[in-house]
């Protein structure tokens, strides 16, 4: 099982369509690591915590990235023993997500879990 995150540009007032500007997928095995890094709610459950736009979650992602980079040993303990969900996979994924949020601050955040 995995988590899909998507950022959509603002809806067109005329046609109601949105453009997908970012899409990424990550394993649920990283949920505990995300929780320890303080990003679980923003990444896995943004709809439940009023993280509606990319600009809302960007500060949370940046703090989580800083925490992960500052203390890798602390977070490596949450890596899945089977290799499906490791620190080495999560940090670059989170950075990519943060970059997309920074580039598209008004994008709407949607997740499929």
**Which pTM does this prediction carry?**
0.93
Residue 91 near residue 69 (C-beta atoms within 8 A): yes
Q: How confident is the model at residue 10 (pLDDT cuts 50, 70, 90)?
A: confident
pLDDT > 90? residue 86: yes
First-last CA distance in the chain: 8
pLDDT > 80? residue 28: yes
Backbone angles phi, psi at 107, to 5 degrees: -65, 145
């Amino acid at each position: 099982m995995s988590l899909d995150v998507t950022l959509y540009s603002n809806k067109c007032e005329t046609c109601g369509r949105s453009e997908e500007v970012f899409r990424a997928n990550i394993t649920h095995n990283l949920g505990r690591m995300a929780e320890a890094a303080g990003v679980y709610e923003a990444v896995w459950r943004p709809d439940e915590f009023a993280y509606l736009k990319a600009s809302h979650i960007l500060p949370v992602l940046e703090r989580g990235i800083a925490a992960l980079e500052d203390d890798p040993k602390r977070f490596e303990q949450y890596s899945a023993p089977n290799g499906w969900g490791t620190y080495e996979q999560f940090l670059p994924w989170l950075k990519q997500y943060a970059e997309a949020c920074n580039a598209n601050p008004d994008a709407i955040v949607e997740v499929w879990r």
